[in-house]
Amino acid sequence: MRIFTKGQAIVFLIVFGVLAVIASPFWTWWLKQDQELNVFILNKTVPDDSYREHKGLVWILNNEKYIKANGDRYSIEDDYSGFKPGRKSEYSIKPFPDNLEKYQVLYLADTYGVYEEEFNGSNPLGERSSSLNGGLQEEEVIQLEDTLLSSKGKTLIAEFNTFAGPSSNEARHRLTNLLNISWSGWIGRYFPDLSSSEVPVWIKDNYDEGSWGFKGPGLVFVNSQDYVVVVDESELNGEGVGFTFTEKGEGYFGKKAHAPYRYWFDVIEARNQDEILADYSLPLTKAGKSKLQNAGIPVTFPAVIQHKNTAYSSFYFAGDYADEAEVPGIYQTRGLSKWKEYFSANDSFYWEAYVPMMKKMLQDKPGSADSQNAPETASNTGIQTNSKTGEEYIQILKDGTWEDLLVKGVNMGIAKPGSFPGETGITEAEYFRWFKTIGDMNANAIRIYTLHPPAFYEAFYKYNQIAEKPLFLFHGVWVNEETLVKEQDAYSDAVTADFKNEMKQMVDIIHGSAVIDEKPGHASGKYTYDISPYVLGFMIGIEWDPEAVAGTNEKHNGLQQFSGTYFQTENANPFEIWLAEMMEYAVKYETDHYQWQHTMSFTNWVTTDLLTHPSEPSIKEDMVSVNPNHIKKTDKLHAGLFASYHVYPYYPDFLNYEEKYVNFIDSEGDKNNYAGYLHDLIAVHEMPVLVAEFGVPSSRGMTHENAGGMNQGFHSEEEQGRINSRLLESIVSEGYAGGLVFSWQDEWFKRTWNTMDYDNPDRRPYWSNRQTNEQHFGLLSFETGKDEAGIYADGNTGDWKRLNAKPVYSSDDENSYLKDMYVASDEEHLYIRIDYNHPIDSKNEKTYLLIDTIAGQGQTSIPISQTDKIKTDFGVDFLAEIGGQDHSRLLIDSYYDSFYYHYGHMLNMIPNESYANKKDNGVFHPIRLALNKELTIPSTGETKPFKSYETGKLLFGNANPGSENFNSLTDISISRNKKVMEIRLPWALLNMKDPSQKEIMGDLWRAGLTGSLNIEGLWISAVSADSYGIKDSFPKMQKGAIHEKESVFYSWDVWEQPDYHERLKKSYFILKKSFDSIQPGEK
Do residue 653 and residue 732 come from a single domain? Answer: yes
Give the pLDDT of residue 1082. 53
Q: Does the pLDDT value for residue 92 go beyond 80?
A: yes
Do residue 764 and residue 860 come from a single domain? Answer: no
Contact by Cβ (8 Å): 598, 472: no
Do residue 15 and residue 41 come from a single domain? Answer: no
Give the pLDDT of residue 699. 98
**Which tops the pLDDT comparison, 369 or 838?**
838
Mean pLDDT score of the chain: 93
Do residue 93 and residue 223 come from a single domain? Answer: yes
- The reply to whether 375 falls in a domain is no
Of the residues 363, 392, 426, the one at which a domain ends: 363
Q: Does the pLDDT value for residue 346 go beyond 70?
A: no
Do residue 772 and residue 797 come from a single domain? Answer: no
Return the axis-axis angle of helices 52-63 and 336-343, rounded to nearest 10°: 120
- The reply to whether 468 falls in a domain is yes
Q: Does the pLDDT value for residue 518 go beyond 90?
A: yes
- Three-state DSSP state, 756: coil
Task: Give the confidence band of 166 by pLDDT, cuts at 50, 70, 90.
Answer: confident
Written as one letter, the residue type at 90 is E
Digit-coded pLDDT (tens) for 189-240: 999 999 999 999 989 998 987 889 999 999 999 998 899 999 999 999 988 8
DSSP state letters, 607-645: GG-SS--TT---GGGGS----GGGEEE-TT--S-B-EEE
Written as one letter, the residue type at 826 is D
Do residue 214 and residue 279 come from a single domain? Answer: yes
Residues with Cβ within 8 Å of 765's Cβ and at least 6 positions away in sequence, in order, are 415, 417, 418, 419, 420, 748, 749
Lowest mean pLDDT among 29-38, 535-544, 604-613, 923-932: 29-38
Give the pLDDT of residue 128. 60
Give the pLDDT of residue 961. 94
Lowest mean pLDDT among 71-75, 746-750, 850-854: 71-75
Percent of the chain with pLDDT over 90: 83
How far is it, in rounded angstroms, from Cα 5 to Cα 763?
Answer: 102
Q: Does the pLDDT value for residue 1044 go beyond 90?
A: yes
- The reply to whether 688 falls in a domain is yes
**Which tops the pLDDT comparison, 343 or 450?**
450
Q: Does the pLDDT value for residue 88 go beyond 80?
A: no
Q: Which of 964, 966, 968, 930 is nearest to 949 (CA)?
A: 930
- The reply to whether 188 falls in a domain is yes
- The reply to whether 391 falls in a domain is no
Q: Say whether the peptide bond before residue 652 is cis (omega within 30 degrees of 0).
A: yes
Do residue 699 and residue 822 come from a single domain? Answer: no
What is the 8-class DSSP label of residue 902?
I
Digit-coded pLDDT (tens) for 62-81: 998 899 999 999 999 999 99
Do residue 845 and residue 900 come from a single domain? Answer: yes
Give the pLDDT of residue 549. 99
Residues in the chain: 1083
Give the pLDDT of residue 328. 83
- pLDDT average, residue stretch 593-605: 99
Q: Say whether the peptide bond before residue 166 is cis (omega within 30 degrees of 0).
A: yes
- The reply to whether 385 falls in a domain is no
Lowest mean pLDDT among 117-126, 341-350, 550-559, 651-660: 117-126
How far is it, in rounded angstroms, from Cα 1029 to Cα 713?
Answer: 38
Percent of the chain with pLDDT over 70: 94
DSSP collapsed to 3 states, 446-477: EEECCCCCHHHHHHHHHHHHHCCCCCEEEEEE
Give the pLDDT of residue 119. 62
Q: Give the distance between the most distant pair of CA atoms in the chain.
A: 135
- Three-state DSSP state, 880: strand
Q: Does the pLDDT value for residue 41 go beyond 80?
A: yes
Count: domains in the chain: 4
Task: Give the confidence band of 141 by pLDDT, cuts at 50, 70, 90.
Answer: very high
- The reply to whether 401 falls in a domain is no
Give the pLDDT of residue 165. 78
Q: Does the pLDDT value for residue 336 go beyond 90?
A: no
Give the pLDDT of residue 763. 98
Do residue 282 and residue 169 come from a single domain? Answer: yes
Residues facing 407 on adjacent strands: 738
Do residue 777 and residue 794 come from a single domain? Answer: no
Pairing of the two strands 845-852 and 1018-1026: antiparallel
How far is it, in rounded angstroms, from Cα 459 to Cα 457?
Answer: 5
Domain extent for 605? 407-781+1064-1077
Give the pLDDT of residue 123. 53
Do residue 464 and residue 336 come from a single domain? Answer: no
DSSP state letters, 294-359: HHT--SEEEEEEEEE-SSEEEEEESB-TT--S---S----SSHHHHHHHH-GGG-HIIIIIHHHHH
- pLDDT average, residue stretch 437-441: 96
Q: Does the pLDDT value for residue 1010 go beyond 80?
A: yes
**Which tops the pLDDT comparison, 355 or 789?**
355
How far is it, in rounded angstroms, from Cα 875 to Cα 16?
Answer: 101
Which H or E run includes 502?
helix 493-510
Digit-coded pLDDT (tens) for 691-721: 999 999 999 999 999 999 999 999 999 999 9
- The reply to whether 90 falls in a domain is yes
Q: Does the pLDDT value for residue 26 go beyond 80?
A: no
Do residue 348 and residue 468 come from a single domain? Answer: no
Task: Give the confidence band of 1083 by pLDDT, cuts at 50, 70, 90.
Answer: very low
Residues with Cβ within 8 Å of 407's Cβ and at least 6 positions away in sequence, in order, are 394, 444, 445, 536, 690, 737, 738, 739, 740
